[in-house]
């Protein structure tokens, strides 16, 4: 199957700082990738659809100015959590590949 990587795997930051999470497709080109968020002991919820060369599409209730998505190439999508706060602490996972069924290993964000 397709391989999706994420970096970093975990990050701890102070409240008010911005954090960038990278999602890379290692063996395929992705015009579309998806970003999900998973709170502890809960399911994954779609945040946004990342579109190569154009603006991301955000789900209802997700602040586009807070969660900046950039998809500048066919192998890289980035999610930047701007001015992070403790309530943004979560597990962020991206997906891509054929039918977007391949998920990255996730990035655990802890905002102090």
Partner 1 sequence: GNSVTQMEGPVTLSEEAFLTINCTYTATGYPSLFWYVQYPGEGLQLLLKATKADDKGSNKGFEATYRKETTSFHLEKGSVQVSDSAVYFCALSASGNQFYFGTGTSLTVIP
Q: Give contact residues for partner 1 (rule: CB under 8 A).
A: 1, 6, 32, 34, 36, 41-46, 49, 93, 95, 99-106, 108
Minimal distance, residue 36 CB to partner 1, in Å: 8
Minimal distance, residue 81 CB to partner 1, in Å: 18
Cβ closest to partner 1, residue 16 vs residue 98: 98
Cβ closest to partner 1, residue 32 vs residue 80: 32
Cβ closest to partner 1, residue 88 vs residue 102: 102
- Are 109 and 19 contacting, i.e. CB atoms less than 8 angstroms apart? yes
∠ at Cα 6 (76, 47), nearest 5°? 80
Minimal distance, residue 37 CB to partner 1, in Å: 11
Cβ closest to partner 1, residue 44 vs residue 68: 44
Minimal distance, residue 92 CB to partner 1, in Å: 10
What is the signed CA dihedral for 107, 46, 96, 43, rounded to 10 degrees?
60
């Amino acid at each position: 199957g397709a391989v999706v990587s994420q970096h970093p795997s975990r990050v701890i930051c102070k409240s008010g700082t911005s954090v960038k999470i990278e999602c890379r497709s290692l063996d395929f080109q992705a015009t579309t990738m998806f970003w999900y968020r998973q709170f502890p002991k809960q399911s994954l919820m779609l945040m946004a659809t990342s579109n190569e060369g154009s603006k991301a599409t955000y789900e209802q209730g997700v602040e586009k100015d807070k969660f900046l998505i950039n998809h500048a190439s066919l192998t890289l999508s980035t999610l930047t959590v701007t001015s992070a706060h403790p309530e943004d602490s979560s597990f962020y996972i991206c997906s891509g590949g054929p039918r977007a069924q391949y998920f990255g290993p996730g990035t655990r964000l802890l905002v102090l």
